[in-house]
Chain A
Amino acid sequence: MNTYLSQVKAIVWKDFVTELKTRELFSSMFVFAILVMLIFIFSINLSIVDANQVGPGVLWVAILFAGTLGLNRSFTLEKENGCLQGLMLAPVDRSAIYFGKMLSNLAFLLIMEAFLLPVFMIFFNVDLVSHLTPLLAVVFMGTLGFSALGTLLSSLSSNLKTREIMLPILLYPLIVPIAIGSVRLTGQVLDGKSLADMMNWVGLILCFDIIFISASIMTIDHILEE
């Protein structure tokens, strides 16, 4: 168990050190997310529609698109110089590799979101500060599900030559329940409702988080074998 944890930790640590040196992942995800938001800002007339209604959708589209970019990049790193094979040679439980990659993908996305939310607040002129705690909870639950499924699918598609295209094709249909749930919840939170009134949506997202994580643990052995 101790080795297992230190292996997971080492994988996360390695991704962080790489990111601190290159800054490629954060900057590309963040810039891309901002661009997505800007495009929506210019195409939506905010004096007609209610920002609380359209804002959450735009926010989550930006998060999902930028997150996909990050997932692709994160597995490109493992593929360069055959590193993933090197990892597979080591006496590491395959689920430790999965958790390591999943946690670092999750952490990078959460950091990116921490910078994105203030920008979202300014662009859409919505008040996030007074609903901060429930909003962060929603963002965390949605991002957790996205990272769990995304890490699994990016390792699945990592052997395909068309990885950049296959990942979104596999990922977006399956992430729909979490995406819808997160958009709904974010909208209601911005309207000042409390999470306790929307337990069905919270339950739905948490269920899918758990399903995605357990499905990954069960299948990762077969997926990582060529």
Chain B
Amino acid sequence: MTRIDFVEVAFDSLRINRLRSALTMLGVIIGVAAVILLVALGQGTKNYVEEQFAGLGSNILIVTPGKIETKGGPPIIGSVRHKLTLNDSRILEKKGYLFAGVAPVVFGTAEVRYQNRSRNVSILGVTPAFQEVRNLHVEIGSFLGEADVDARRRVCVLGRTVKRELFGNANALGQTVKVAGTLFRVVGIMEKKGISLGIDIDDLVFVPVRTAQELFDIDGLFEILVSVRNKNDLNSGKELATSLLKRAHNRNEDFTITNQAAILSSLYTILDTLTYVLGGIAAISLLVGGIGIMNIMLVTVKERTNEIGIRKAVGARNRDILLQFLFESTALATAGGIVGILAGVAGAYALRLLVPKLPVSIPAWSILLSFTFSVFVGVFFGVYPAKKAASLNPIEALRYE
């Protein structure tokens, strides 16, 4: 058997029928571009959510006062019989052998003033443990120390935005600001962090937790953040915290412990599903593109019956015709796949420019999958028309006009 230059023959006829080739490719181009774009969109949504929750840590338990009743609804401040206190926090710290850090938090808002500039910001009363638990760090100066907490010192650490708004480019370290009318000395500036969960981390002011209780005239806590040493211990950590706190609260479970990771992972599952559903819808359009190829190839076989007759008359074997037509459809699908990938990637970049908030990203698997699929489509939907062409009787094919 001699080897035939069917590749050359196939390219010849694709080139001769440029418009038809282009139109045939269009179905695959749109299909592949849609797969890439929609998957990128799904992935972007997931990334957005992930970014929002980033820094929260996947190993964190959040203890809030009050019990969410089976009736539902969030705990209402007034209904809290037993508050969370620094004592609770201390118990968790001392006896929670599974915990890496325990960070009590007091939350309030106040006006912060420096000279003639002021800004209304959220104030977080925290302990040094907060840094490790939330993975937030100072850039300049130092964070609040144990001694600051114990002595209720009037010192504060400013978020980036607060610092910029009050001080501009001037040095803030060591300066005094007025927080709700009380003088505080600035000991540190936080590193830039951005928005997480709708809260602008850079627009916060951190003060020692006891100082904050004094400032806002409260003796309870807003929440206690507990980080677990080992991710696998989240559930046993939750049980441990529950039993420790119940003992301290006369066996009352008047608090709620939320496992952020569990909520997140189910959210991610939903988002992954969304990505696959979008990809699936697009894959259907790719399939339709494949059927389009088959359709055109079938028409082509009819239209080119005479050509097939001529080729057979001068010596083309069935296999030569089969390979030519199969190669034509595969080349169309492959070229369509490549152009589709370029179009999809370009579309995703355009989307990123138009909606900067949505961190659109293209997973490698979507490119690989859609490309493989489009080549497969070309082969699969090309086989039937190619077989049809190959099996034509030469004299009947020659007579066909």
Instruction: Check if A and B associate.
Output: no
Chain A interfacial positions (CB closer than 8 Å to B): none
